[in-house]
Amino acid sequence: MHAEAFLRHLSLIKRYSEKTVTAYATDLQQFSDYLLNQFGSDSPDTATNSQVKSWLVAVLRSGLSPKTVNRKKSSLRAYYRYLQKEGFIISNPVSRLKLAQTPVLLPRSIPQKPLESALEARFEAERPECTQTFEGKRNQLIIMLLYGAGIRREELVNLKVKDFDSAKGVIKVFGKRKKERLVPVPEKVVALIEEWLETLSPTSQESPLIVTQKGAKIYPMLVHRVVHDFLTLVQEAESKSPHAFRHSFATHLLNQGADLNAVKELLGHSSLAATQVYTNLSVERLLEVYHHFHPRS
């Protein structure tokens, strides 16, 4: 089996994240175990179309969601494409298998007005003292960067001091597969970062931009706690995860008339299809306005 070489290919050539490579490795191991238990061979390299289909049916019947089944199917598809490209196999046993039907789940964004009210209440009007401490300044910056730049939690955690360009008002972000992009940030956020850096006094441009009180790089669970605490102020927020800010960033831009391609670049999406899901939310908003204000609606 050429699984180890395939996983190295994903990590070093394709530059997949460690989490994704681990998921592919798990899927291949589970498929190998199934082949051994059912057919007496633990090598996916020689598996047939019917054996692949048999495993996927078993996985689906085990109660896993169609989305998870599709992920496992994609893992096998990528593996067999790699084997074909390297000349280890002639035909791909997954090539004719269709993906399972999955419902389209729209991202849950936060309504704009309640979100703006919460930002003002927490950081400007009622509790300005919460932004005067080290922790308060850091937490404010976390919230404002997630919403103001629409970046992912992992992208936020990995920001370095050198990634902030004060003169241009942008941050350099490394997204999925380490794809680099420049994201503009609002003037208020630029000022917050400048003030934060004065507080932080970093010794190196390679230092993490946002740190704990002990000076270590922040971690995902800390970001989650900060966001969850803040979003308790917003009753209308269905999701209280960091990703809710990214959804809101995109939806609010589109609601204000932003170009879809521009939003795609800001989000760092590789294809327009990934961004188009937000247009459904914008259409819902347009229909809401229409039915509320049009006399013949």
Alpha helices in 86-219 (DSSP H): 112-123, 134-149, 153-157, 187-200
Domains of the chain in sequence order = 3-85 (1.10.150.130), 112-243 (1.10.443.10)
Would the pLDDT of 222 be above 50? Answer: yes
Say if CB 49 and CB 89 are below 8 A apart.
no
Known active-site residue 96: no
Would the pLDDT of 154 be above 70? Answer: yes
CA distance 286 to 114: 18
**Pick from 260, 122, 149, 264: nearest CA to 210:** 149
Known active-site residue 285: no
pLDDT at 297: 46
**Pick from 38, 49, 102, 106: nearest CA to 77:** 49
Known active-site residue 152: yes
Known active-site residue 278: yes
77-107 pLDDT, tens per residue?
999 999 999 988 888 888 777 655 555 555 6
Known active-site residue 34: no
Express as a percent the part of the chain with pLDDT over 70.
88
Question: Tokens 């170009």 map to which residue?
Answer: 259
Which one of 152, 247, 252, 264 is the catalytic residue?
152
Say if CB 264 and CB 272 are below 8 A apart.
yes
Q: How confident is the model at residue 165 (pLDDT cuts 50, 70, 90)?
A: very high
Task: State pTM to two decimals.
Answer: 0.66
pLDDT at 103: 55
- Tell me which of 199 and 66 has the higher pLDDT: 199
CA distance 81 to 90: 10
Known active-site residue 53: no
